[in-house]
Chain A
């Protein structure tokens, strides 16, 4: 047996679990932060005039169009170069959150714009204030409308989080690469990793579909 390599064993479980845990952590951070920021920006874009939109739109277009892997490398190199090197988790969370925000903002904008002006006028005519109308009418109706698209973005963020490995974050893909290097068992490990991504993605999309059915009133 080649002494350079050691086969996969139960002792690696902790290492793999760390990877899984880190993938979940950064995905949750990016989805939560990206959703909140995306909601605010999506609302601002639905409400504001052309000039603001063109400005916002340009930045968001860049975030959406430049491949995530390039954004990750550029950002972490840049903060390092100006003297503030960041922990890979922090740098990865920032970039992945902004990337998520860029997609989420479009999702939410569409949702808020789908609530007709006439519906909002009706609410105002009952004496509701601007913010009451937003809170009781526009948000709940808009958010229901975007649930399927929101879920689509969230699922792709979980998968895109694998790219944060390029700046040294020990998420699932990176731990598995290191295990592959040591064990030379790429097939077993990659199949295992693939199954894991499926295991967290599938229930989410399944749950989303049933939620959607429940809310389709």
Chain B
């Protein structure tokens, strides 16, 4: 389980997170929506210890993420992350991309790492692309590679940071379909997204971020269809 407890985070004078609390039990999918600059991506970066926090606490499987004693490299193995940019490693084939971290981080043998990588690539529908270089693939395929690469580490959680925002509209569907599959398999996920349909249909709960706080959180269908907070209503009426 991921537990975010009253987290504050500033970049210089700018306070981006102003006391955010959020519990995500295992198996739950939470979508985080909100305007740009509302702090939703920063929250993911803080959970993954890519960014430090100023105060508060984040627990992942009861491990204090920001404690000095925590091995952050080890922690990140449990937290798969996918970004808006595809970030495929351009000097490796698709298979090598997915097999790299299991091999060098988990110290698996080459064959073992390849086996896992192949399985995850097939999982996201890239079973015919093993030996292709990622720059030869579409954005949607590259993003699915990024998902498979994260899954190859067998994470307990997936953090998804606007993974469809850089995609051409016709490619959004295939990536969302992959995420829907993960959700059905019971993966615990926090998705920062602008896809309201996805947030409503795939996630269990939706959190609306506004200026560094969670202005509203609740059951997905209810938040998207009948938001209680005036700010949420305003936001949703603009993005629809």
Contact = CB atoms under 8 A, between A and B. Distances in A.
Contact of B133 (A119, A141, A217): A217
Contact of A118 (B87, B133, B149): B87
Interface stretch (A17-25, A53-61, A129-137): A129-137
A128 interface: yes
B146 interface: yes
A217 B91 contact: yes
B55 interface: no
Interface in A161-217: 215, 217
Interface in B63-91: 73-74, 76-77, 79-81, 83, 85, 87, 89-91
A126 B90 contact: no
Contacts of B80: 125-126
Interface residues of A, number: 20
Contact of A127 (B77, B87, B135): B77
B169 to A, nearest CB: 22
B32 interface: no
B108 interface: no
B199 interface: no
A127 B83 contact: no
Interface residues of B, number: 27
Interface string A116-128: 1011011111111
A7 interface: no
B101 interface: yes
Given A136-B100, A140-B91, A125 B48 contact: yes
Given A126-B76, A126-B153, A118 B85 contact: yes
Nearest to B45: A121
B150 interface: yes
Interface string B34-77: 00000000000000101000000000000000000000011011
Residue of A122, A132, A144 with most partner-chain B CB within 10 A: A122
A125 B81 contact: yes
Interface string B77-118: 101110101010111000000001100111000000000000
B192 to A, nearest CB: 14
Contact of B90 (A118, A127, A217): A217
Interface of A: 116, 118-119, 121-129, 132, 136-137, 140-141, 144, 215, 217
Interface of B: 48, 50, 73-74, 76-77, 79-81, 83, 85, 87, 89-91, 100-101, 104-106, 133, 135-136, 146, 149-150, 153
Given A116-B87, A127-B153, A141-B89, 7 more contacts: A116-B85, A122-B81, A125-B150, A126-B101, A132-B104, A144-B91, A215-B91
22 contacts: A118-B85, A118-B87, A119-B85, A122-B85, A125-B81, A126-B76, A126-B77, A126-B101, A126-B150, A127-B73, A127-B106, A127-B153, A128-B73, A128-B104, A140-B91, A141-B89, A141-B90, A144-B91, A215-B91, A217-B90, A217-B133, A217-B136
